[in-house]
A and B are shown apart, each in its own frame.
Chain A
Amino acid sequence: MSALLLAAATGAAALAAPRPAEAAEVAQYTLDNGMQVVVVPDHRAPVVTHMVWYRVGSADEQPGKSGIAHFLEHLMFKGTATHPAGEFSQVVSKLGGQENAFTSTDYTAYFQRVAKEHLKTVMGFEADRMTGLVLTDEVVLPERDVVLEERRMRTDNDPGAQLSEAAQAAMYTNHPYGHPIIGWEDEIKQLNREDALAFYKRFYTPNNAILVVAGDVEPEAVKQLAEETYGKVARRAETAERVRPKEPVPRAERRLTLADARVGQPSLSRAYLVPAYRNEKKDSVALDVLAQVLGGGSTSRLYRELVVEQGLAAGAGAWYQSTALDDTRFGVSATPRPDVDMAKLETAMDAVIAKLAADGPEAAELERAKTRLVAEAIYAQDNQATLARIYGAALATGTTVDDVRNWPDEVKQVTADEVKEVARRYLVPARAVTSELLPARDAAAAPASPEKRS
């Protein structure tokens, strides 16, 4: 339970979220209380993936309360007035079901995967904990220790993760994407039962939730079950438009260095502030293609140039996080080979980006990138849980089922000029936070090599 979705992808060539091409007939409707419902039929196996998404994430937290969205996600497993602590999980387990939950900057989601005939059971429990949560210090305090251990495991034990956290904070000077999803350690330590319940009452209400059911089900049957369960949960808060403090157009390039004795392998990474799909659809799809051309796998520009041709890097890639409510990030990264100076690696990386921004992609590589993205949309259909996540994340970030369905066609229409244009406009120094992860300074000063400080 309570996995943390690291929306801050850590450098690997994480691609654009693949989306289904000509998916099964996805049905959608809205319950009387305002809860949205999406049904994605997949009749290949007699199982379902049941998810409830709340339109609230770490970027909706108040200053000083970082981590409360994620902490509440943990506490949602602590029982309700109707079902005491542990009962829900015990029933899911007895039914042979699997469950978990995750928190991102823009959403919090809970899911169970069960045999299809148990769908109503898990819907009943999930509807119950939408408003019935009961918390005591007896369960809240040990769980806060669990979250602190989670933070130690993910971040405090890992200099690379610490640098990523700092880079995100540097990127967002005004927008709340700047604080970590899991929260700052000192603030987590102060979170309490009252904070959790206040957050819960404000954001956990059917009109702020999306139900996604994927698997061996019929939309009409799900509708009936949804009305019998979630449909009976009264609204308890009005939802406001999700307007966060806007990140101003950045003016100054930012650079971070973290040098630590625990770093065995240096790395160079950079993120640029770019629009999300919700706000600039055409640019966003072009950025998906750009990420693929620039850093998607071993046929990409960065890999071919830095790893294969120049032999400066052991690995290189690019990623773009298109699914977000507000301005998001496009990243590039490279791992230097031994004795390769970071400045030299960065210069080479800059040259690759500059060339693409100047000339755009060649016809063949544009085609390759689009083929890959469209195929991934088909591959995504092979997994009902993947599909459920794609639709849930899309709807929780202000886009629609039709957007998801149309995305492959939009990819096919992207031109070389459009790719060039988004590279030229967004991959500029003022929008960038560049991070260097280095060994401790005295260790780094060790052997001189011909390639140092060229």
Chain B
Amino acid sequence: MSAAVRAPRGFAALLSTDGLAALVPSARNLAAGLIAMTALVSLAPPASAQSETTRIQRVVSPGGIEAWLVHDTTLPLVAMEIAFIGGGAQDPADKPGVASLAASLLDEGAGDLDARAFQDRMAEKAIELRFDASRDMVGGSLRTLSENVGPAFELMKLAVNAPRFDDEAVERIRQGQLAGLRRRANDPSTQASLAWSAKAFPNHPYGRPLSGTLESVPAITRGDLAAFAKRTLARDNLKIAVVGDITPEQLAPALDQMFGALPAKAELTPVPDAVPQGLGAVEVKTLDVPQTSMVFGGIGLKRNDPDFIPAFVLNHMLGGSAFSSRLFKEVREKRGLAYSVYSHLAPLDHAGLILGGTATKNERAGETVDLIRAEYLKLLTDGPSEEELADAKSYLIGSFALRFDSSAKVASQLLQIQIDDLGIDYIDRRNELVAAVTLDDIKRVAGRFRENPALLFSLVGKPEGLANAGAVPVKGAPNGGSGG
């Protein structure tokens, strides 16, 4: 832990690194990369900024709890993001929705405070504290004015150490979750996404709906919730990022105050690695709407795969770029088939995926499925041009700074880097890694995707023109009432 010599202001030095300077030589190797690299190099702020600003500090409490801190006094506020590894994938097989419901209840009464008293404490000081579950973690987000950091940390402590799960609160939040499930029961894009997961991961936690179902949520007991909290909220699976008007000297003891009394080790149920099933199929759920929503996906890479960065660049060219991706150009711009079309890598802890989605009028659904398949295969087979690759890298490198322009965004980045175990110097190295990607790297990673390039499509609507698409109709409307 290093002390701040003077009150630091700004995030600029987060991005001023030796790594950026080191980019210049590799940039010269790129035929078409010059414009991009001009942009990149000039991104680095003057060297003096570095000495004025404390960068990411590893703060370790007397009790051994680690947090990453960016101390910044520009605004009188503090943002904290935390994560406990182990989310919806920890749900009992017959009771999906436990993690989600439990997370929603952490700020609904804890310690001596019932739900009403807890919410009053937050509201009186305008403290924002919320928790939610994703497949692989329970996340917590705190925002407070720095003058209220004491009470804010006290509420965080109570929420993670002593959630009450009082009957009144459980029932009330359960009703909210059920209402959400009913609201989304006929939402085409939600249902397409749920259908995709269910088909791709049968008998695996990733196939189950994170928010549970209309059958499972009523069956969740207080005991399920308390057991989930007890098993999951621990010190060894906890990651913490803090940004704003708080010094390392203030933060260190507060870490012990908030998290020191948690169990040393989480008791997580092992989740097996999984590969998506049903690839090549087009699954249809009929719903009487004018537009068909579709989710598609196949085998991707996990975050710790050495080829992840080249794969990330590859996906950017396919459907990651908002304006210049191949899918955008072919599906939207040229043919007017859809308003939105995208793809992204979804590196879950136990499965690497490439996922995407779009929505088009029913009459053109088959055409759209065929087009997306063809574009995917074409990119994997023929690869991008040098120029296309250079443009993609140029965007990814230049836009990295946009992730660091607010306390909340910086905190989220620091948290994700810890979750992904990329190292405290990752921000320094990241653009270097992207810049180093060559056409050969892209071909190699495309070759890996091509080993099984089949995509599973899940469609919800009344799609037409699927004769060639290998459609597998599913009986009935998706009224099952499950939501994600």
Contact = CB atoms under 8 A, between A and B. Distances in A.
Nearest to A385: B405
Nearest to B323: A89
Contact of A299 (B11, B119, B287): B119
Interface stretch (B120-128, B251-259, B277-285, B442-450): B120-128
B407 interface: yes
Given A149-B359, A157-B188, A376-B126, A96 B399 contact: yes
B371 interface: no
Interface stretch (B61-69, B196-204, B295-303, B335-343): B335-343
A308 interface: yes
B145 A375 contact: yes
A257 interface: no
Most buried by B among A46, A90, A143, A146: A46
Contact of A146 (B12, B321, B338): B338
Given A46-B45, A97-B398, A262-B186, A149 B337 contact: yes
A39 interface: no
B324 A299 contact: no
Contacts of B74: 43-44
B291 A372 contact: no
Contact of A264 (B10, B335, B398, B479): B479
Given A145-B337, A152-B361, A308-B172, A96 B76 contact: no
A146 B183 contact: no
Contacts of A92: 323
A156 B180 CA distance: 20
Interface stretch (A111-119, A235-243, A344-352, A406-414): A111-119
Interface residues of A, number: 74
Contacts of A45: 10-12, 14-15, 401, 404-405
A114 B45 CA distance: 14
B361 to A, nearest CB: 6
Interface stretch (B36-44, B227-235, B264-272, B418-426): B36-44
B291 A153 contact: yes
Nearest to A337: B175
B398 A95 contact: yes
A371 interface: yes
Contacts of B10: 43-45
Nearest to B188: A157
B396 interface: yes
Nearest to B214: A264
Nearest to B79: A382
A152 B183 contact: no
Interface in B174-189: 175-176, 178-188
B290 A142 contact: no
Given A89-B324, A158-B187, A298-B119, A96 B182 contact: no
Contact of A378 (B75, B168, B182): B75
Contacts of A262: 186, 287-289
Contacts of B361: 148-149, 152
B405 A215 contact: yes
Nearest to B243: A382
Contacts of B405: 42, 44-45, 47, 215, 383-385
A94 interface: yes
Contacts of A100: 322
Contact of B43 (A46, A142, A379, A381): A46
Contacts of B321: 93
Contacts of B186: 262-264
30 contacts: A43-B10, A44-B10, A45-B12, A89-B324, A92-B323, A94-B36, A96-B402, A113-B402, A115-B39, A115-B43, A115-B401, A145-B337, A146-B336, A146-B338, A150-B339, A264-B479, A299-B119, A307-B176, A308-B116, A311-B172, A335-B179, A337-B179, A368-B124, A371-B123, A371-B125, A378-B145, A381-B75, A382-B406, A383-B405, A383-B408
Interface pairs A-B: 6 shortest CB-CB: A96-B398, A145-B336, A375-B126, A142-B336, A265-B182, A314-B179
